[in-house]
Amino acid sequence: MAPRLFTPLTVRGLEVPGRAWVAPMCQYSCRPGEPGFVTDWHLAHLTSFAIGGAPLILTEAAAVTEVGRISPWDAGIWQDQQVGAWERVVSLVHRTGSLIGVQLGHAGRKASTYAPFHERSGSVPVAEGGWQSVGPGTAPFGSYADPRELDLAELSSTVAAFGAAARRAVTAGFDAVEIHAAHGYLLAQFLSPLVNRRSDEYGGDLAGRARLLLEVVDAVRASVPDRMPVLLRLSATDWGSGQVADDLERTVQVSRWAVERGVDLIDVSSGGNVPRPEIPIGPGYQTGFAEQVRRAVEVPVSAVGMITRPDQAEQVLAEGQADVVMMARALLADPHWWHRAAETLGHPLPWVGPYARAAPLLD
């Protein structure tokens, strides 16, 4: 039998030929004069994984509005003019033999920040190309600048922006879309009782706090073909003091509601709404969360977080903790991870033609 890592998985109408997928990784590499437009860097970055044997690649978060970018250097898909640059990436990834999906996001109160590798940190001032962020309320994230509270009309336009971005993703040729509702960004902010203190229909109990996310799910699902998978990334917990069990219960319920509305895979991560949380980081530290969500829903679930070795990834799948493993930093270190994994697990994996001469080096 083939290793689980290399067995196909069908998600709605898409058959993916393996189960180690490229997780979204922000590159902060758009040019300031062309906000949101992906560049040659993104083309090289994403295609490197296709050459290395990735079955499915998820792009970094593509902002659905200009003010929804995490930083001034982030990718976007909020206007039609940005589609052509994405089409170029999608076309080359497809020609190289991989599938590719786009993550749709809005940073909310965590927008307009410096890139992690910038010499400065925190919020980017308006004078330097930043903007005022928005959120469920006016409370900032840590030391970031104060956001402006979104009104009901703006919430409606945000839902519409996700739908319009999904339609552009279809035009660009993407194979799947993922809604980013994790890591303390806008949709995760609305879900969290630590952040969302609204008293209108978008706050209060879990049903109210989940309203915006579920409206986004409806808008995205209605904007893509029926065969196209819609994925959802959630933070299982924000690692607040004494909150982990309650957060996980909330995540399970939100996952159930999302699946009822047409989500086809739950991508389980954690963290983002609590500044400087104490997280017990270690190999596979989030897979237990994925396993609990998997028990509660009837769609595939992915796990992410310090999954680096082929035997470790195979074990996560074999033990039923998840149906898919998402990987990031290990793939930056080795974009040919899949070929090395195939060799380790004794599975033949074809190389892209111009790279086939490298195969003997793994023997």
Give the CATH number of the domain where residue 30 resides.
3.20.20.70
In which region does residue 329 sit, left (phi positive, over 0), alpha (psi from -120 to 50) or beta (all else)? alpha
Can you give the pLDDT at residue 363?
Answer: 66
Can you give the pLDDT at residue 243?
Answer: 87
Given 28, 114, 144, 185, the catalytic residue: 185
Question: Tokens 């996560």 appear where?
Answer: 316
Q: What's the total number of domains in the chain? A: 1
Instruction: Report the distance separating Cα 174 and Cα 205, nearest Å.
Output: 35
**And the tokens for 146?**
């104060």
Can you give the pLDDT at residue 242?
Answer: 80
Q: Are strands 9-11 and 14-16 parallel, antiparallel or unpaired?
A: antiparallel
Q: Is the four-CA dihedral 181, 183, 186, 191 of positive or negative sign?
A: positive
- Do 137 and 149 meet the contact criterion of CB atoms below 8 Å apart? yes
Instruction: Report the distance separating Cα 297 and Cα 253, nearest Å.
Output: 9
The CA angle 83-85-91, to the nearest 5 degrees, is 95
Closest CA to 293 of 349, 248, 232: 248
Can you give the pLDDT at residue 1?
Answer: 81
**And the tokens for 277?**
């949380």
Can you give the pLDDT at residue 359?
Answer: 82
In which region does residue 281 sit, left (phi positive, over 0), alpha (psi from -120 to 50) or beta (all else)? beta
* Three-state helix/strand/coil letters over 199-240: CCCCCCCHHHHCHHHHHHHHHHHHHCCCCCCEEEEEECCCCC
Full domain range(s) for residue 100: 4-362
Instruction: Report the distance separating Cα 163 and Cα 149, nearest Å.
Output: 22
Q: How many CB atoms lie within 10 A of CB 29?
A: 16
Q: What is the CA radius of gyration of the chain?
A: 19
Amino acid at 363: D
Cβ contacts of residue 280 below 8 Å, gap of 6+? Answer: none
Closest CA to 177 of 106, 97, 104, 269: 104
The CA angle 61-295-347, to the nearest 5 degrees, is 70
pLDDT tens digit string along 156-177? 999 999 999 999 999 999 999 9
Can you give the pLDDT at residue 362?
Answer: 74
Helices H / strands E in the chain, number of each = 11, 12
Q: What is the DSSP letter of 78?
A: S
- Do 237 and 270 meet the contact criterion of CB atoms below 8 Å apart? yes
Instruction: Report the distance separating Cα 285 and Cα 277, nearest Å.
Output: 15
Cβ contacts of residue 206 below 8 Å, gap of 6+? Answer: 250, 253, 254
Amino acid at 132: Q
Question: Tokens 């607040």 appear where?
Answer: 240
Instruction: Respond yes or no: is residue 185 known to be catalytic.
Output: yes
Amino acid at 85: A
Low-confidence ranges of the chain (pLDDT < 50): none
